[in-house]
Amino acid sequence: MISYPQISIPPRSEHLWRYTPWKRIHPTKVEEMPDSDEIRFSSGENSEMDGSDEIARSFIHTISKVCKKVTLSNETLELDLRCSGHICAGELNVESTGESNLIIRVSGDAGWTGIRISGKVKDSLSVAVINDLASDGHFLRCEDWTVERDSTLEFATLSAGAFLNKSDVRVILSQKGAETRGGIASNGYGSRHDDHHFEIKHLVGHTDSSFVMHATCDDSSHSVGTGLLTICEGADGSDAGQVFRNLLLSEKSRAEAIPELEVLADDVKAAHGAASAPIDVNQIHYLASRGLSVDTATALIVEGFLMDAFRHVKSEKVVATLRTRLLVHLECLVNG
């Protein structure tokens, strides 16, 4: 395993780093290894995580002074990650059996936050990651999940905090019967930059995946969504799909949606799609005619659009938590 200083800076020709180059998300000069504060985990046992040849994972691993492990079995765990200081980093190992829920809330006023999560799923796990960081922070997040035989991973991300965000989430469906489904909801405001990259790999046949990303962009915010679905050779009987939708609320906002398919097997179902559009003025007019202000009407439309990203998430506990946090966030924007 090579160390971070030996890893080449990735070129912007790689779509993972096209819109948020490594030099932009790195907290200091790229050749420096800054000191960091520990993320404060509300629970978990001390653990260790292997290094990585991928630059973001290697960097977080190198500067992290804390690694925690949580083990779930037929339970719901709400895990708070408090981030403070100039630079803050941490790693998390997750193991799950039975039907479990894991709700991760990332909050605090750290100038730069790096989180690396690795997990194995047996049976059924529903994971929610809620970005509630201060609006002037930077956030780098890397996740690696392996879903085993006849098991299901539900994932859900609500991204509403921090000024500059970069996420790289990868799921491997490693055995027959493995399934993953879920989505990302991103709310852009001010000059917020939100960049999400998602990869799902079907290693074997008879595995299923579905992924949805919905992003709203207001003011001069910028949303980026890139996704790669890979169906490996011999993975016949796989069913995969991904959809990106962007709602543009202002003329200065921008949204990029780049879905990709790599299909190396013959007997599969694979689909992808992307769409961007402004808000429907007829919807605003309808709600205004019922006595709602334009701001309130817009917030209501945004809420419905973003929550629809979680249409495939079956965990009622996870969906209810996401809706509550989204409503609080939107209310703060309207009244702020």
Residue 1 has pLDDT above 80, yes or no: no
Q: How does residue 107 score in pLDDT terms, banded at 50, 70 and 90?
A: very high
Tokens 């998602």 correspond to 198
Tokens 């949303």 correspond to 223
Name residue 186's amino acid.
S
Q: Considering all CA atoms of the chain, what is the largest pairwise distance in Å, rounded to the nearest integer?
A: 62
Instruction: Enumerate residues 6+ apart whose C-beta is below 8 A from 291.
Output: none
Residue 335 has pLDDT above 80, yes or no: no
CA distance 242 to 229: 8
Report pLDDT for 38: 96
Residue 210 has pLDDT above 70, yes or no: yes
Residue 156 has pLDDT above 90, yes or no: yes
Of the candidates 213, 221, 325, 219, the residue with the CA atom closest to the CA atom of residue 275: 213
Q: How does residue 243 score in pLDDT terms, banded at 50, 70 and 90?
A: very high
Report pLDDT for 281: 82
DSSP per position, 43-103: S-EE------SSHHHHHHHHH---EEEEEEES-EEEEEEEE-SSEEEEEEEEEEESEEEEE
Of the candidates 128, 116, 273, 259, the residue with the CA atom closest to the CA atom of residue 199: 259
CA 181 → CA 95, 161, 196, 312, distances in Å? 18, 23, 16, 6
Phi and psi (nearest 5°) for 284? Answer: -60, -45
Q: How does residue 295 score in pLDDT terms, banded at 50, 70 and 90?
A: confident
Q: What would the mean pLDDT of 258-287 be, rounded to a whole number?
A: 88
Report pLDDT for 331: 85
CA distance 274 to 224: 12
Q: How does residue 288 score in pLDDT terms, banded at 50, 70 and 90?
A: confident
pLDDT tens digits along 169-179: 999 999 999 99
pLDDT tens digits along 31-49: 889 999 999 999 999 999 9
Burial class from Cβ neighbours inside 10 Å (0-12, 13-18, 19+) for residue 121 reads buried
CA distance 73 to 79: 15
Average pLDDT, the chain: 94
CA distance 152 to 183: 14
End-to-end CA distance of the chain: 48
Q: How does residue 336 score in pLDDT terms, banded at 50, 70 and 90?
A: low
In which element (H, E) is residue 294 found?
A: helix 294-307
Q: What would the mean pLDDT of 63-83 be, rounded to a whole number?
A: 97
Instruction: Enumerate residues 6+ apart whose C-beta is below 8 A from 183.
Output: 155, 156, 157, 211, 212, 213, 214, 309, 310, 311, 312, 313
